Amino acid sequence: MLHSNLLRLVARGSSSRLMSTATKLTTVEVNDETGIATLTMNRPPVNSQNVQLLLDLQASISEIENNKSRGLILTSAHSNVFSAGLDIFEMYNTDVERLRTVWTELQNVWIALYGTSLPTAAAINGHAPAGGCLLATACEYRVMRPNFLIGLNEAQLGIIAPKWLMSGFTNVLPKRVAERALTQGRMFTTQEAFEAGLVDEIASSKEEAVEKCAAFIGSFAKVNPLARGLTKLQFRADNIKEFEKIREKDVADFAALASSPEVQKVMGTYLENLKNKGKK
């Protein structure tokens, strides 16, 4: 991967710098002209979020914050999936400690992305169910390619999404639309997501999506970064405070629920259906 990334950069000229390949499942490239960092998830085939991807995402977000980038664009290295959400295989037939770790690291990624003062945007170049939608809605702006699906489908898995997990989603949708979508576990098409306000723009290619995200981040060029960042965090402070109060209990609740025979059974059937889908 390092080799192919370097080749890609050389072929493109030196307009962007690959800051890090220290982590295996994410890469960070900073555009020299704009100073904007693109954080790419690369866990084939569908960027399902195992603990390693969650840890790598946290490391990359910290790196982008520390290298004084002007903003962060989150995207995927794959052609039709942004992220399939949590890796269900990692949550199935496992012990409670592993479930606690999975959930803790999901929380850690969410708070790192939702709570950064940097401008953030998601170039959603494929499907974004569940944890994929969580990451996209933690960002301030979303641009999505056509004919994909995005949404929080936890209800379909027999899971009650906690409030913090819903907050990015409920921040951008009218309350009534959000309530109905969450209780149905609804997946929106790109067009429906755009009409509802879940995504801000539609782009016909990943490159165009990244460009539109960069234009959004560029719109803050003349705004004092400290004032911008603190204003953003004031808007998010209630969600963040509420999350901090319940984060430990939330891990315990998730581990208890996800390890219950009922939810394990639902997961087993869901995985079977996913595998069989490939055979049809």
| CA pair distance 194, 38, nearest whole angstrom | 23
Give the per-residue contact string, 228-267, with ligand LG6FSS7D (x = CB under 6 A; - = no). ------------------------------x----x---x
Closest approach, Cβ 45 to ligand LG6FSS7D, in A, equals: 5
| Residue 172 is a binding residue for ligand LG6FSS7D (CB under 6 A) | no
Give the per-residue contact string, 117-146, with ligand LG6FSS7D (x = CB under 6 A; - = no). ----------x-xxx---------------
Closest approach, Cβ 180 to ligand LG6FSS7D, in A, equals: 19
Residue from 27, 34, 48, 170 binding ligand LG6FSS7D (CB under 6 A):
48
| Residue 280 is a binding residue for ligand LG6FSS7D (CB under 6 A) | no
Size, binding site for ligand LG6FSS7D by CB under 6 A: 27
DSSP-derived letter for residue 115 is T
Cβ-closest position to ligand LG6FSS7D: 85
Q: Where are the alpha helices (DSSP H) in the chain?
A: 2-11, 51-66, 88-91, 96-114, 131-138, 163-172, 175-184, 190-196, 206-218, 225-259, 261-279
Strand 149-151 relative to strand 188-189, pairing: antiparallel
Residues 6+ apart with CB under 8 A from 7: none
Stretch that binds ligand LG6FSS7D, among 42-50, 215-223, 230-238, 239-247 (CB under 6 A): 42-50
Catalytic-labelled residue, pool 153, 182, 185, 198 = 153
Strand 36-41 relative to strand 26-31, pairing: antiparallel
Residue from 2, 8, 62, 80 binding ligand LG6FSS7D (CB under 6 A):
80
Closest approach, Cβ 3 to ligand LG6FSS7D, in A, equals: 25
- Whether the CA torsion 140, 43, 165, 102 is positive or negative: it is negative
Stretch that binds ligand LG6FSS7D, among 65-73, 171-179, 240-248, 271-279 (CB under 6 A): 271-279
Q: What angle do CA 113, 119, 121 make, to 5 degrees?
A: 70
Are 203 and 209 spatial neighbours (Cβ–Cβ below 8 Å)? yes
Stretch that binds ligand LG6FSS7D, among 10-18, 149-157, 166-174, 225-233 (CB under 6 A): 149-157
User: Alpha-carbon dihedral of residues 55, 58, 64, 70, nearest 10 degrees?
Assistant: 140
Neighbours of 97 (CB within 10 A): 9
Q: Which is nearer to ligand LG6FSS7D, 154 or 250 (CB)?
A: 154
Q: Catalytic residue at 86?
A: yes
Question: In the structure encoding, which two tokens stand for residue 275, read together?
Answer: 């595998």
| CA pair distance 167, 236, nearest whole angstrom | 9
The region that residue 172 occupies, defined by phi over 0 for left and psi between -120 and 50 for alpha, beta otherwise, is alpha
Residue from 29, 56, 63, 87 binding ligand LG6FSS7D (CB under 6 A):
87
Which residues contribute to the site for ligand LG6FSS7D (CB under 6 A)?
Answer: 45-46, 48, 80-81, 84-89, 91, 127, 129-131, 153-154, 157, 159, 258, 263, 267, 274-275, 277-278
What is the set of active-site residues? 86, 131, 153-154
